[in-house]
A and B are shown apart, each in its own frame.
Chain A
């Protein structure tokens, strides 16, 4: 009975998705807003990467919501795990020489690559979320290699809060100074394809990258060390 019901629910969901999507041809820009962003995005925002111009400039408020959701998830996980009583402290073997040497060699390169991804978010593919996830994977490598030598918790909290504050402050300055909407681009656009171009977009992406990286690293820290 349960199997039949679940198959029925699955069929209904599939029919709903297919009936709403089958009229749109695959890969065809049907909407006006898509055409507008592709044609005008470069001139209006100064960012060479159109995806970044949409994510940070046209839909910057949505990005603030996404960052807030991640923040709430990290806080919820931390509060659940710290309120639980500590499990048995299992003895873990020390990491092998290969892992230690590889970690020492690869760690700065991974951190540099993550920083490159979010600093160049307005020029090349990538951005704050991708760079933050890469930085968090570097912290995962640290926890796998050096057990117990956790990260500096105050440092991570300060990084996270200050980058969130920078994001909101830039948005509020745009509300006061620029075109008078939240996250309006009030800095000069500069030359297209330059590192210092596109106004506030690189600043916001650096803030998002630091925030996402410290949040995901804290999630991994909580899971590895506290549970």
Chain B
């Protein structure tokens, strides 16, 4: 159990750092989406399914969709 949780936390940190350093903003949005998805799994492991559902539906689905719409209206690559 502790191994799974620590692996998830390591993945989450990697995704968070990748979201900062990606030049292609679409990739950055997907990395940020992965951070919220892993956070939702961790909330579930910590016996908080209510928070996990909110995090998965808002953080991973709706926020990513809003960011993608914003990228479509502006530009995809950071200069």
Checking B52, B58, B73 against A227 with a beta-carbon cut-off of 8 angstroms, the contacting residue is B73
Q: Which residues of B contact A133 (CB under 8 A)?
A: 54, 57-58, 61-62
User: A69 at interface (Cβ–Cβ under 8 A)?
Assistant: no
Checking A130, A136, A224 against B69 with a beta-carbon cut-off of 8 angstroms, the contacting residue is A224
In the complex with contacts A125-B49, A125-B50, A223-B66, A137-B73 CB distance below 8 A: no
In the complex with contacts A129-B54, A130-B57, A137-B49 CB distance below 8 A: no
User: B53 at interface (Cβ–Cβ under 8 A)?
Assistant: yes
User: B17 at interface (Cβ–Cβ under 8 A)?
Assistant: no
Q: Which residue of A lies closest to B69 (CB)?
A: A223
Chain A interface size range: 20 to 34
Q: Which residues of A contact B46 (CB under 8 A)?
A: 27
Contacts of A137-188 to chain B: CB distance below 8 A: 137, 140
In the complex with contacts A51-B50, A125-B49, A126-B53, A220-B61 CB distance below 8 A: no
| Interface core residue of A52, A130, A224 (most chain B CB under 10 Å) | A130
Interchain CB contact under 8 A, A137 and B61: yes
Q: Which residues of B contact A134 (CB under 8 A)?
A: 57
